[in-house]
Structure 1
Amino acid sequence: MAVLPAALVLSGCIARAAADIVSAPVKVASKTADLATTSQSEADEKRGREIRKREEQLGKLGRRYDAQRAECGRGDADACTAARETRAEMDVLSPAVPVDPN
């Protein structure tokens, strides 16, 4: 009589193992696709971080440019040259920073 329940349990284990083996490739493929795909919200967050980084860089360049212009106004020719170079950097970076509509 103990043989019958053991056979039922054993057949259940075999069926479960077979199902796990059959479904494993699907689970792996699904997980791989999940990892390889970027959601829209993740893409938006990444773009936001990139924009904030460019805005920060543009702000630093702006402060440097203002200081160099002040020195240039006091007659420092090297500061005038540096200000022109900084302004050129700002001009390159500016199109990559969206305009705030407010």
Structure 2
Amino acid sequence: MRSLLLLALPLLAGCSVANTAVGVVTLPVKAVSKGVDLATTSQSEADEKRGRAIRKEEERLGRERRLLEERCRKGRPLPGDLCPTR
């Protein structure tokens, strides 16, 4: 039984060495792949970013419109404000 274990030990160690060798060889490929992924923007990421920018701009325009309406309603428009006439 002991001799069987001693014979199997190099095989088990060999698998470990082979797994380590594969890991060392694939590490640079994984690192470059991760770097490329971080450096590039996918189409869905670009769409999400554009959607956020559009929503932010719409919120800004809404705030400005509400402020303009309030100034016009109170009768205190700023120079250049185009208040609707009633």
Match of 1:24 among 19, 24, 27: 27
TM-score by length of 1: 0.67
Percent identity (aligned): 43
Match of 1:45 among 37, 45, 48: 48
Q: Which has the larger radius of gyration?
A: 2
1:42: how far off? 1.1
Q: 1:41, 1:56 → 2: CA distance? A: 23
Q: In the alignment, is residue 68 of structure 1 matched against residue 71 of structure 2?
A: yes
Measured in 1, the distance between the counterparts of 2:60 and 2:79 equals 16
Distance of 1:56 and 1:43 partners within structure 2: 20
User: In the aligned structure 2, how far is the partner of 1:7 from the partner of 1:70?
Assistant: 89
Matched, 1:8 2:31: no
Instruction: Give 5+ residue unaligned stretches, structure 1.
Output: 73-78, 88-102
Cα deviation, 1:48-72, whole Å, max 9, x if unaligned, reads 1111111111011111112222333
- With over 3 angstroms needed to count, the CA separation of the structure-2 counterparts of 1:3 and 1:10, relative to structure 1, is same
How many residues in Structure 1 have an aligned counterpart in Structure 2? 79
User: What TM-score comes out, normalization by structure 2 length?
Assistant: 0.78
Superposition RMSD in Å: 1.8
- Greater length-normalized contact order (CA 8 Å, ≥ 6 residues apart): 1
Alpha-carbon distance in 2 for matches of 1:44, 1:26? 28
